[in-house]
Amino acid sequence: MKEYLNKVIRELKLRNYSPKTIKAYLLCIEFYLKYKKVGFEKLEEENIKDFLLLLKEKGKSPQTINLYLNSIKFFYNQVLKIYKKIDLKFAKRNKNLPIVLSKEEINKVIENTSNIKHKLIIKLSYGSGLRVSETVNLKVKDIDMDQLLIHIKEAKGMKDRITVFPEKILNDIKNIIAGKDKDDFVFESERGGKLTTATAQKVFIKSLNKSNIIKSATFHSLRHSFATHLLENGVDVRYVQELLGHQNIRTTQIYTHVMNPAIKKIRSPLDNLNL
């Protein structure tokens, strides 16, 4: 099995997959090969179906099952060069609406963040629509202070994109990066070096809890809120798509369901009863 997994690593690296994706694919393929036990070099569709059904019975989400299926397809098609079509349909994804914080709730979270650096992390992530990984990986040279833009490099899918930089925090960011080299991280840990995503997530959750907000929000809710509030402000969905770096506009359009102004104007029939 080790020989096959080494081949997977080699192929993924040659295709410039991110370390996170390499780790995920390896875990999925290793789990499948342990399930299969023998005949790794033979593509058996029924065996793959049984494996995916087992994952479903174990309560794995549709997204996770799709990740396993993509990994297995990569193993046979790209690593072992078995070009037989794996005729399996992807599991249906859960159509959950994103958790979005209102502008007032965003304000509360910021107000309940006492540490200046932590406050800036939340402000910038919301104000520019950044993923947590993009925030902690942000370098001084990635911010264009004059144009008020941020160049996100090798984001999800190894794609670059440009997003807006909030002018309101310009002086604060200038202060925090004063004396730093262009290749230094904007937000560093107390010991120096890059801040971890886990630390940034804990910062947000701590401030969320202090704000007494009961929504099941996560750090990623800052990005969801960025997109929703732009649409509420009248920004065209195609521009929002570009700022978020979505390949398909349908991914961006989910935010139109969250901010639907027509629904917000409808009153419940209970309000019309003389109770």
pLDDT at 91 over 80: no
DSSP code of residue 268: P
pLDDT of residue 199: 94
Residue 79, token pair as written in the block: 């690593």
Judged by average pLDDT, the poorest of 54-63, 68-77, 80-89, 248-257 is 80-89
Find the mean pLDDT for residues 48-53: 90
Summarize the confidence of residues 45-58 as an average pLDDT.
89
Report which of 36, 27, 38, 37 is spatially closest to residue 5, judged by C-alpha positions: 27
Helices (H), the chain: 2-14, 19-36, 45-57, 62-74, 103-111, 116-128, 132-137, 170-177, 197-210, 220-232, 237-244, 249-258, 261-265
User: What are 53's two structure tokens?
Assistant: 């059904």
Band of residue 155 on the pLDDT scale cut at 50, 70, 90: low
CATH architecture of 103-262: Orthogonal Bundle (1.10)
pLDDT tens-digit profile of 187-224?
Answer: 988 887 789 999 999 999 999 999 999 999 999 999 99
CATH class of 2-79: mainly alpha
pTM, full prediction: 0.72
pLDDT given at position 88 = 74
> Which of the residues are catalytic?
131, 156, 220, 223, 246, 255
- Contact between 8 and 29 (Cβ < 8 Å): yes
Q: In the chain, where are the structural domains located? A: 2-79, 103-262
H-state helical runs in 112-236: 116-128, 132-137, 170-177, 197-210, 220-232
Higher pLDDT, 131 or 60: 131
